[in-house]
Structure 1
């Protein structure tokens, strides 16, 4: 690879068509924005987040240890359940 290529990479220009039948969730997310910069930026964010997730950057988020209620914690359905909010942290 030449030094010119590594110093000044050429931008990538993409033009594509997305049908709702292909990817309904993606289509619905992008259609919220009018044509132009906001839609393009949203697609960039989604693509970058997908790249990070694929590389494992988001692995483990939201998969912490399940909550183990303490002996004196309130039972579900009781009026005292909100008091358990102030129980000690459950950091493993």
Structure 2
């Protein structure tokens, strides 16, 4: 219990398993790198870019303009590409065998 409290103030550690069937494009992109730092950094980069695209999309749609960083209105992001990025990190739509 105390360990959860100390981790919440510091960094986030993730351990997950991704199969090619879960998300083919993400799997193919990550498998290019050997296990370790390069693969983790690639996932970190993809997550950051997806988050930034999501925030720009929200700002462009006028839903919550305060979420976007200053000057984001000058950026052009395809809404369909941003939605695809967001879907890449969603949970699978169905779980087979359950």
Band the TM-score falls in, shorter-chain normalisation: 0.5 to 0.7
Question: May I ask how many residue pairs the two structures share in their alignment?
Answer: 56
Q: Could you tell me how far apart the structure 2 residues matched to 1:46 and 1:23 are?
A: 14
User: 2:53 and 2:45 mapped to 1: Cα distance?
Assistant: 12
Larger CA Rg, structure 1 vs 2 = 1
Q: Secondary structure at the match of 1:52?
A: helix
Structure 1 segments of 4+ aligned residues over 4 angstroms from their partners: none
Answering whether residue 25 of structure 2 is matched by residue 25 of structure 1, we say yes
Q: Which runs of 5+ in 2 are unaligned?
A: 57-71, 79-98
Equivalent residue, structure 2, for 1:37: 37
1:12-51 C-alpha deviation (Å, 9 max, x unpaired): 0000000101110000000000000000000000000000
Q: Please say if residues 19 and 27 of structure 2, whose CA atoms lie closer than 8 Å, have aligned partners that are also in contact.
A: yes
Structure 1's unaligned 5+ residue stretches are: 63-92
Structure with the bigger percentage of helix: 2
1:9 CA drift (Å): 2.8
Q: Which residue of 2 aligns with 1:55?
A: 55
Alignment RMSD (CA, Å) = 2.5
Could you tell me the TM-score, scaled by structure 2's length?
0.51
Q: Distance in 1 between matches of 2:25 and 2:55?
A: 22
* 1:33–1:44 Cα change, 3 Å: same
SS at match of 2:9: coil
